[in-house]
Amino acid sequence: MSFTHRFDPTTLREYDIRGIVGRTVCPEDAFAIGRTFGSIVARSGGRTVAVGYDGRLSSPMLEEALVRGAAASGLEILRVGRGPTPMLYFAAVTLETDGAIMVTGSHNPPDYNGFKMMLSGSPFFGAQIAELGDLAARGDVVAASAGTVRDVDVGRAYVARLMADWDGGGRRLKIVWDNGNGAAGDILADLLARLPGDHVLLNGAVDGTFPDHHPDPTVPRNLEHLIATVRETGADIGIAFDGDADRIGVVDDTGEIVWADQLLVILARDMLRHHPGATIIADVKASQTLFDEITRAGGTPLMWRTGHSLIKSKMAETGSPLGGEMSGHVFFADRWYGFDDALYAAIRLLGLVAHMDTRLSAVRAALPVTISTRETRFDCADTRKFTVIEDIAARLKVDGSAVSMIDGVRVTTPDGWWLLRASNTQPALVARAEGNTHAGLDRLKAALVAQLERSGVAAPDFSGDDAGH
């Protein structure tokens, strides 16, 4: 039987395939992804693909169709079941599969879902996803044949491996965990049963309707339950996960948010004690404080493009032991496998906190203080967003501004810096600015707005958006 399939073009994104269930993503799309990705694996000489799924209501249906498609390519499909995305990555690495696909909507609203992929141990993204869409549209797949499907339980091995890097010394901690009703629920329960400490678990049940709050720990309002519980219980730390547990959120013992770049400062200082001079990677949205503190600790900071697949690839290229993004992705290649895993990041962080001779809040408070806007996204058509960046970059070069074009434009002035980049996943531009003073931040925002206006783009409203950081 011949096979062709056309995906809704809005679903073929830079890092994954993702859309609204029943509108832009359906079981037929899942089958086509399995059939086409399976063909790519087979043509590369591969034989096995691991498949997992998150806790969304639509995930079992999409996973079943995905498995049928991949098996029709003649492969052996290892179904690892429901769990966090990092568990699927762990299965792919430790079982040495040739490919892996995770059915997950990550931190998107409940009616979204999607697919993250690995090929030969590396992220499958960008041009590879575009090629997958082209192959499906042309029906360019291997001849259909009957593969095999079997269930594989990796949960216990994954928890055991997480615990293998737990530093059991130091003081006993009281920890509040917020699973956000995400996919980590069952694994997290098993982990806490083995992890020393006094644990309070919020929203532990896997529930794809996310009844308590949206599972995105980068948004402060989603941390309100965690913050309140840390303060009520006198906990040492609070930890939150996104919907598929590849991103982490942290609050200190006073309930203040430890932003991702501040978390990376803490992790990098420890990493550089063991790996002096190592390259530590962070994305362009991170505070200048992070890059300065890496240098101060004897490391080599590297600013790189936003995107978990891009950071992972750059770490592999440079041999970096640690990387991260402002979105809460943290990547350990030291004693771990180089992929983003919020559960593993929590284990490493808790080991550090347990050995601190002061409270986490004191460490956070001792970091240099800057004033920044939050990440601001605003609409700009896909056909226009990259052109806007190119136009602004050309003007900045003529003006002689100190500009980095690693990912969009990041402009540094004596007041601090501002960033404007095109989203890789939405028809939007992304802006952020960080100043040394409130007056300096106002000047940075004014410069950013002026550039947008010169390009005919309505500027976002930054008023009331400043925060100490």
Residue 2 is among the residues annotated as catalytic for this protein: no
Angle between helices 342-355 and 185-194 (to 10 degrees): 30
Amino acid identity for residue 228 in this structure: A
Nearest Cα to Cα of residue 89 among 350, 346, 424, 343: 343
Question: What pLDDT was estimated at residue 468?
Answer: 54
Question: What pLDDT was estimated at residue 134?
Answer: 98
Question: What pLDDT was estimated at residue 97?
Answer: 98
Q: Give the C-alpha distances (Å, rounded to integers) separating 152 from 63, 68, 95, 98.
A: 15, 17, 10, 16
The residues facing 112 across adjacent strands are 20
The count of C-alpha atoms lying within 13 angstroms of the C-alpha of 294, restricted to the half-sphere facing its C-beta, is 29
Give 58's DSSP letter: T
Q: Hey, what's the torsion of the CAs at 433, 15, 135, 39, to 10 degrees?
A: 170
pLDDT tens-digit profile of 31-46?
999 999 999 999 999 9
Which is the catalytic residue, given 58, 73, 106, 327? 106
Give 32's DSSP letter: H
HEC per residue, 328-340: CCEEECCCCCCCE
Q: What are phi and psi of 347, to 5 degrees?
A: -60, -45
pTM score, two decimals?
0.94
* Low-confidence stretches of the chain (pLDDT beneath 70): 1, 463-469
Q: What structural domains does the chain harbor?
A: 9-153 (3.40.120.10), 157-365 (3.40.120.10), 371-468 (3.30.310.50)
Give 217's DSSP letter: T
- Distance CA(452)–CA(383), nearest Å, equals 16
- Distance CA(1)–CA(290), nearest Å, equals 55
Question: What pLDDT was estimated at residue 375?
Answer: 86
- Distance CA(80)–CA(335), nearest Å, equals 23
Q: Are 7 and 136 in contact (CB under 8 A)?
A: yes
Question: What pLDDT was estimated at residue 170?
Answer: 84
